[in-house]
Amino acid sequence: MASERLLVQIASYNTNLQAERGLPQDLIDWLAPTFQVSRFLAREPRTPDIVAVGFQELLPLHLGLSGLSSKVIESRNALILSQIEKYAPNKEKYALIAKVVNVGVALLVYGLDDGVARKVTDVHTHWTGCGPAYMGNKGAVGVRFSVPADDGGVGEVFTFVCAHLTAHPQKLEQRVRDYHHITRTLLFPPLPGAASSNPTTMYDTSHLFFFGDLNFRVVLPPEHPLAQSPNTSADMAHVLEQESVREDLKEYDQLLLERDRHGRAFISLREGEFWRFKCSYKYKLGEVDKYEQVLKRHPSWTDRIMYATYTDNPDSPTKSHITNALYTSIPSYTTSDHKPVVSVLLLPPSLPQPTLPSPPPTPLGSNASPQDGSPSSAPTPPMLRLPIHFHPRPDTYANLKRYTGRTLDRLVGYCWSLLVFLGAGSSILGIGNFIVGLGVWSWWRTRPSIGLAV
């Protein structure tokens, strides 16, 4: 029955460095549709068991690099929590399971207060940067937790990853490298019951959700009609009203090609039919349905939500046991050049799992412990099934790379923030004021001394 399957809501939005101005105070357009869809999944109105909300470009970059995100993320947390409770069909309460932010990439995960949130264990957060020299202007954040089974079984592990990858159509190779860097450096502690003490990758999980502004573009060949015609932004918006046109455009989507045809990125991750909604980027600011600079770049589905579960078959990479009940964008948000996206996912029923066995009796007169010299007998959670050619391994230098990037983040962020302060909010004016000030200071030090003749 659907009511016995967990319902997960994923929401992602690149807010265009708007900080607290990036969201309206009423999130009904973004969050309420998912709660309405849940009514079709059960006889009674049902609210999601887990809600994950990801942001990219959360706040101005100089503040993010300086690590000054606490005020914004706390404001977002309070707003989102109040809104998902306000629109829950039965006025259910939620609790924050975890939140994590690195520069401008943030992730908040909530659970039903009388359900998943009360059962979660082993909550971990992590982050990694894949910008220049591993800086965090691009990168990913992750949340992982376990949900024990009601019957005493070991349960399942949930991993959520929110990412922001390298921009610009021509930088496809860098985006592929970003994905592999995240796979190798976004690391979590060993799984419950595991005999190994080695860190684990995002793929060491029962359920994986990977989403964010992934920046993969639609790149049309020169002979394509839409590449030849001088479309205005209004014309393109009108053309994209037709689902048949969007379905044709998806064949030129870089992410789809890299994942399904070339197998170079997002291995084993599935996705809903993203072409059923309009491209989420790049819109004119303040406009509901007008794209910007169509002649320079084609509208693209840069904002994506993907997933995998442990019952998925690696030999059927386009099919999933997760039911995608909703996958859409929200056009009414106009403060960013991106539109937020949202998805409702119904997970498959949990399979029967072994419970923790009782230790064998110790022979009379023996001082040996049942664990001495023997491997761990604790059951482990079910894991994703991956293709035989794909073996993600943790990067030995992951921590060195992460903290090298963070050190550079802070150095650049503090200097940039100082220039913004000197320029009264403008870094360009701040640079000018700094140069003028430096010139005045140099003149003052080298001016001739004027004294009275004795």
> Highest mean pLDDT: which of 222-236, 317-331, 342-356, 427-441?
317-331
Query: Is residue 415 domain-shared with residue 294, that is, in the same domain?
Result: no
Amino acid at 272: G
* Contact predicate 142/126, CB 8 Å: yes
Pick the closest to residue 129 from 354, 402, 417, 321 (CA basis): 402
**In whole angstroms, what is the distance from residue 164 CA to residue 182 CA?**
10
Q: What percent of the chain has pLDDT over 90?
A: 62
Residue 452, in any domain of the structure: no
CB contact set of 427 (below 8 Å; sequence gap of 6+): 62, 416, 419, 420
Same domain as 440, residue 332: no
Q: What is the pLDDT of residue 150?
A: 82
**Token digits of residue 66:** 């300086």
Let me know: does 9 contact 342? Beta carbons within 8 Å.
Answer: yes
How does the average pLDDT of the chain come out, rounded? 85
What domain range includes position 68?
A: 2-352+380-395
The CATH code of the domain that includes 330 is 3.60.10.10
Shared-domain flag, residues 336 and 430: no
The total of structural domains in the chain comes to 2
- Same domain? For 438 and 389 the reply is no
Q: What are phi and psi of 235, to 5 degrees?
A: -60, -45
428 and 389 in a common domain: no
What six digits make up the tokens of 423?
């320029």
Whether 299 and 423 share a structural domain? no
Give how far the C-alpha of residue 259 lies from the chain's centroid of Cα atoms, to the nearest Å: 18
Could you tell me how far CA 418 lies from the centroid of its own chain? Answer: 30
What integer pLDDT is reported at residue 9 of this predicted model?
Answer: 94
Measured CA to CA, the distance from residue 293 to residue 366 in angstroms comes to 79
Specify the pTM: 0.88
385/437 same-domain check: no
pLDDT of residue 452: 45
Regarding predicted confidence, which is higher, 289 or 130?
130
Residues 420 and 386 in one domain: no
384 and 441 belong to one structural domain: no
Three-class DSSP category at 61: helix
- Which of 90-99, 105-114, 158-167, 438-447 is the least confident region? 438-447
- The answer to whether residue 29 sits within a structural domain is yes
Kindly indicate the confidence band of residue 443, based on its pLDDT and cuts at 50, 70 and 90.
low
**Local confidence band at 237 (pLDDT 50, 70, 90 cut-offs):** confident
Using CA atoms, how far apart are residues 92 and 212, in angstroms rounded to an integer? 27
Is the domain of 415 the same as that of 341? no
Quick: pLDDT tens for 207-234: 999 999 999 999 988 888 877 665 555 6
